[in-house]
A = this chain, B = another copy of it.
Amino acid sequence: MSNVYAVIMAGGAGTRFWPASRALRPKQLLPLAGAENETLLAATVRRLSPLVGEDRVVIVTGEHLAEATARAVPGVPASQILREPAPRNTAPCIAWANATIAALDPDAVVMVLPSDHFIGDEPGFQRVLARAVATAERGRVTTIGVVPSRPETGYGYIEVGDPLDPADAAGGAPRAVRRFVEKPDRARAESFVAAGPARYLWNAGMFFFRVRDMAALLERHLPGVASGVARMGDDPARVREVFPTLESVSIDHGVMEKAEGLAVVPGDFGWNDVGSWQSAWELAARDPSGNAAGADDVVIDAKNNLVRSLGSTKKTVALVGVNDLVVVETDDAILVIPRERAQDVRLVVDALKERGRTTLI
């Protein structure tokens, strides 16, 4: 069996968790779900431990985030925290990580994972990962397809084909990818969900492959990126020179949608992309009235609120007679917004930007 490496994409900027998230403290570095004080990135690394030790984790992040990232996952070797001098989307990111791992072990199998998602059923997730790795070892570039729980229009979908092994057509068995489908409109999303998980799955941005298979795909579909990465190697000066010149393109568009023979492993493991404070509320421990608040907070005649006092001094938050609100406090800001408008946090960030309040963003 090959050595398995994990590439964790941790370059996200993210304004959707303002005031908690900032340019220098993006979502993956916040404890937004699961255990208290565990960042999403640290949870991502911890969840892999039965399959991939920290010494085989490669993290790709922005140069400005590298120190905070290293602090969040102290067990990951510093040489395996790759610092992008500029964001170039996921294809150059994965190409660089793939080359880095190839230099360590040309026979390695790689799993690429986002750093900022939540997984409710970790053992279930680990079983799916193992299956995806085994499929990749057979020479199939593999993705995980999440069983849709609603007609979401914010995600891409994967149209599923036949089982790879006709003798194994159980629900979790690997299948061929027929095609990747872009974010659908509401009607199409509803038809996808109605068709069932044997036909359509969510694209959760997780990929599994042998380093040599990804290298071949990059050379074929993104030769400029492949040669750029080969040219820059791991020399910081050359990385700063070359990386920003690479084509900014996603691995989905640049490679996966063009590649053939892809496999998908269906999975249903309580996946959540933690896309907004609304998701944070969904994932949080809540009292019988639906409030996610601290034990010291006072909640009277109020339902379904999310309360987070995240400053260096924990404050007592009192809510009376308000429902469905997000109330978040940090050392320099307070946000009050209805849960259903959680996406509009970006309007606050835009307004702050416009006013030149750079310390707040």
Contacts and interface: CB of A to CB of B under 8 A. Distances in A.
A318 B300 contact: no
A211 to B, nearest CB: 45
Interface stretch (A96-104, A109-117, A194-202, A344-352): A344-352
Interface stretch (A35-43, A169-177, A259-267, A333-341): A333-341
Contacts of A322: 325, 336-338
Contact of A300 (B316, B334, B348): B348
A278 B325 CA distance: 20
Given A313-B332, A336-B327, A336-B336, A351 B300 contact: yes
Interface string A167-204: 00000000000000000000000000000000000000
B316 A344 contact: no
A86 to B, nearest CB: 29
A99 B298 CA distance: 46
Contacts of A300: 344, 347-348, 351
A341 to B, nearest CB: 5
5 contacts: A300-B348, A316-B357, A318-B334, A318-B336, A321-B337
**A327, A331, A347 interface centre (most CB from chain B within 10 Å):** A347
How many protomers of this protein does the assembly include?
2
Contact of A319 (B296, B313, B337): B337
A320 interface: yes
Given A316-B357, A352-B298, A360-B316, A344 B321 contact: yes
B325 A336 contact: yes
Contacts of A338: 320-322
B334 A19 contact: no
A336 B319 contact: yes
Interface in A293-308: 296, 298, 300-301
Given A18-B318, A301-B344, A316-B332, 16 more contacts: A296-B357, A298-B352, A300-B347, A313-B331, A316-B333, A316-B334, A317-B335, A318-B334, A318-B335, A320-B336, A320-B345, A320-B347, A321-B341, A325-B336, A327-B336, A329-B334
Interface of A: 18-19, 296, 298, 300-301, 309, 313, 315-322, 325, 327, 329, 331-338, 341, 344-345, 347-348, 351-352, 357, 360
Nearest to A331: B313
Contact of A320 (B331, B332, B348, B357): B348
B344 A315 contact: no
A142 to B, nearest CB: 41
A320 B347 CA distance: 8
Contacts of A329: 315, 329, 334
